[in-house]
A = this chain, B = another copy of it.
Amino acid sequence: MGNRGSKQQVDGRRQSVRGRATATAVPKDTKKAYEMLCERLKELSALGGISGLLGWDEMVMMPAGAANSRGAQKSALAGVMYDKKTDPTLGALLETLRAAPAGALDPVAAAVVRDASKDYVKATALPKELAQRIARLETDAYPAWVKAKQASDFSIFAPFLKEWVEVNKEKARLIDPSAPAYDVLLDDFEKGLTSARLDAVFAQAREGLVPLIAAIKSRGAKLDDSWTHGEFDVEAQAALCKKIALDLGFDTEHGRLDVSVHPFTGGAHPTDVRMTTRFKKEDVMEGITGAIHETGHALYEQGRNLEYDGLPVNSALSMGVHESQSLLWERMVGLSKPFAAYLLPLLKERFPATFGSATPQQLYEAENTIREPSLIRVESDEVTYPLHIILRYELERGLMDGSVQVDDIPRLWNEKMQSYLGATPPSDAKGCLQDVHWSAGLFGYFPTYTLGAMYATQIYAAAAKDIPGLEDKIKAGDFAPLKSWLNVKIHKLGSLHASGDELMTAVTGGPLDPSVFLTYLKNKYTELYKL
């Protein structure tokens, strides 16, 4: 309202005074060059925080009629950030720093230069024509996918998927012609991972899971969770989930908890983390599980190291590691026996009609009920979920190296579903058209879900060794020791390490090991299903 002017104007000018200084030649002195780099990266981080806030607001607060103006705002901000990310002075600074003598940069600075260099290459790699082609595809492919899914007709979506494959190959080639295209794309989501390594990891997982699932299936559905359904006041659910989030360690001085259609964790900064949940009247357990999952993400964000505020080294290492934090809390803690002992009294107090006479063991069994393998990834349990991911990985990897053709996707999808999960989708809508990811051109995203689940078991096993009496503490609702351990071992390290394997080695003594995940599942479900 009106022009209050001066305050903002001057903030701007101060900024510009600084900006002008950095526009001079890049200093040869390593320390000075590093300082200049950090200044630029912090500015980008602050603008990225604004972008995060816009995203949160759009999902949680924005009035429906503001979509167009919000689009213009996001585009303007993205334009500003693009200009800064591709500024040649930034490139020159990074070049100077990469040429610094060994040992001139401490490990943190070296990690900053490593990750910022990669970002710079990615930001500057694409020529205008390709960028425009991608932009057009982003606009056109989503509605085509929606239409294809509604009609359950893959052929409507196929031409768009073909073009996505083509432009993604071209993009990968421009970023790094020496690496397989899939590896270049994967790096956006899971830093430092290769498809060769992922092949081995997923093959081992698949070989362990397929017989386990068959064994559970042949036992028949012994467990039952139908008694946990009922009618649960949504306000009471929200209050309970808030209590749980606070008990786990979510800090409302540096975050918010709201409700949104799709639960997510976002925000503007480690001191401003915004998680959302969602509640269904008939299913209190789903709301709780979702809240614990998002709390895991939020604790990672709130735990980022403020000593390196605004530098890439303090952000999450990868999407897989982020997911490891949500899944560690959701599955290793939230679906465990000791947690059932903590949770049940809270449920009894609020919802006595349903939970009044239950035992912790009954709650634990209900939470871990495995139904018929679902055809739908997002409805799957922790045993079958990885096979949904492995199937997608095998297909998208094949699309990138040419061993899979787009037109063969429906057939291959159904064959793999039958082979891995013993069920064939009745339609493309419930098969290869179920996920939005490929319509947005996201290849290399899917694996992070299952990598996260594997990291989580391995990290939790290390925590259980380090923290005496961890299960008793969880039973007593004392989550602080585990949270503090994760703060130190995972959160504060940010993306200091070059890959998930490196991080696992630092935290657990060895790289990612799928056998830990498999052993966890086998032990748990052998007991539950008396296999």
Contacts and interface: CB of A to CB of B under 8 A. Distances in A.
Contacts of A3: 188-189, 319
Interface in A1-18: 1-18
B76 A47 contact: yes
B440 A14 contact: no
Given A12-B81, A14-B131, A76-B47, A65 B138 contact: no
Interface residues of A, number: 88
A506 to B, nearest CB: 20
A330 interface: no
Interface stretch (A226-234, A268-276, A483-491): A268-276
A73 B57 contact: no
A79 B122 contact: no
Interface in A31-90: 42-43, 46-47, 49-51, 53-54, 57, 61-66, 68-70, 72-83, 85-86
Nearest to A168: B6
A73 B86 contact: no
A254 interface: yes
B1 A322 contact: yes
Contacts of A64: 253
A332 interface: no
A128 interface: yes
A16 B53 contact: no
A7 B253 CA distance: 32
Most chain-B CB neighbours within 10 Å: which of A63, A270, A441? Answer: A63
A266 B61 CA distance: 14
Contacts of A81: 8, 12
A19 B322 contact: no
A20 to B, nearest CB: 9
Given A2-B318, A73-B268, A63 B135 contact: no
B69 A269 contact: yes
A417 interface: no
Interface string A260-280: 000001101111100000000
Nearest to A256: B63
Q: Is the interface of A mostly helix, strand, loop or mixed?
A: helix
B2 A70 contact: no
Nearest to A82: B12
B51 A76 contact: no
A174 interface: no
A299 to B, nearest CB: 13
A263 to B, nearest CB: 13
A310 interface: yes
A13 B128 contact: yes
A316 interface: yes
Contacts of A150: none
Interface string A89-120: 00000000000000000000000000000000
A63 B254 contact: yes
A252 interface: yes
A371 to B, nearest CB: 29
Nearest to A270: B69
A15 B46 contact: no
Contact of A75 (B4, B15, B79, B134): B15
A132 interface: yes
Contact of A69 (B79, B134, B271, B318): B271
Contact of A74 (B11, B134, B265, B270): B11
Contacts of A69: 46, 49, 268-272, 309
Contacts of A61: 61, 256
B272 A62 contact: yes
B79 A19 contact: yes
A66 B268 contact: yes
A347 interface: no
A448 B1 CA distance: 12
A49 to B, nearest CB: 5
A85 B10 CA distance: 12
Contact of A53 (B57, B75, B126, B253): B57
Interface string A343-368: 00000000000000000000000000
Interface in A451-481: none
B272 A13 contact: no
Given A14-B75, A46-B73, 5 more contacts: A2-B322, A8-B51, A15-B83, A57-B57, A68-B271
